[in-house]
């Protein structure tokens, strides 16, 4: 097994708490292959069934949901170690609610749902991890709905900056996405995002230098 594939499996929550040797032994009992997708390729369109159990090895997958008017909202980005649509693998209605495309070249570790069922049936750790993954999805969706439906634009931008600072462990936030992509992820206009960032900077809450935003005063963002 290639090192990059093993790194992805170690990072995958499905194999949490397992050593590399244990992972290799378990994966050795199922049929798998690595799929390579080119940049800006369509992984799946909304409404297509979830046929595989895919884990991102390298690159990024962007998940977007479209409204009836055609406006798209970025729901999430999947990176190394992320499972693709785990809640739909065994669902009776397994049609994906989002369209998924590659952001740059992507490699995927792929097994079939029957192979995953075999792993779940034979290993208690994997079974527990899969249950936890599904539970965490419910928590994530609840939080996402709260942000999109109840937060003001100002609250959404403050949440983004504070959440990113926590993830990066620093008051200097390095944005991984463009302003437009960030606005799309919250379902707001780019102009609204820029206006709030400008207001934060004028109020002395942040300092902006391109894609690096330094948080100077957290309380000023939350007033």
% of the chain with per-residue pLDDT over 70: 98
Structural contact between residues 216 and 206, judged by C-beta atoms closer than 8 angstroms: yes
95 secondary structure, DSSP code: B
Binned at pLDDT 50, 70 and 90, residue 186 comes out as: confident
Q: Using CA atoms, how far apart are residues 147 and 40, in angstroms rounded to an integer? A: 28
Q: Is 26 helix (H, G, I), strand (E, B) or coil?
A: helix
Q: Is the pLDDT of residue 69 over 70?
A: no
Residue-wise pLDDT tens digits, 120-179 = 999 999 999 999 999 998 887 788 778 778 889 999 999 989 989 998 999 999 988 888
What's the Cα-to-Cα distance from 60 to each of 16, 43, 108, 169, rounded to whole Å?
Answer: 21, 11, 10, 22
DSSP-derived 3-state class of residue 207:
strand
Residue 186 contacts residue 206 (beta carbons within 8 Å)? no
């Amino acid at each position: 097994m290639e090192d990059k594939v093993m790194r992805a499996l170690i990072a995958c929550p499905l194999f949490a708490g397992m050593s590399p040797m244990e992972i290799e032994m378990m994966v050795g009992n199922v049929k798998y292959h690595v799929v390579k997708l080119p940049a800006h390729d369509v992984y799946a369109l909304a409404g297509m069934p979830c046929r595989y159990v895919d884990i991102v090895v390298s690159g990024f997958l962007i998940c977007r949901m479209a409204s009836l008017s055609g406006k798209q909202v970025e729901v999430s980005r999947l990176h190394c170690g992320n499972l693709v649509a785990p809640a739909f693998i065994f669902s009776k209605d397994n049609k994906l609610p989002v369209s998924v495309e590659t952001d740059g070249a992507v490699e995927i570790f792929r097994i079939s749902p029957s192979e995953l069922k075999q792993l779940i049936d034979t290993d208690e750790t994997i079974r527990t991890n899969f249950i936890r993954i599904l539970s965490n999805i419910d928590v994530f969706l609840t939080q996402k709905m709260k942000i999109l439906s109840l937060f003001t634009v100002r609250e959404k931008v403050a949440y983004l900056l504070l959440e990113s600072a926590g993830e990066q462990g620093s008051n200097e936030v390095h944005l991984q996405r463009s302003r437009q992509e960030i606005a799309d992820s919250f379902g707001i206009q780019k102009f609204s995002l820029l206006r709030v960032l400008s207001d934060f900077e004028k109020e002395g809450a942040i300092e902006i230098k391109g894609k690096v935003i330094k948080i100077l005063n957290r309380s000023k963002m939350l007033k």
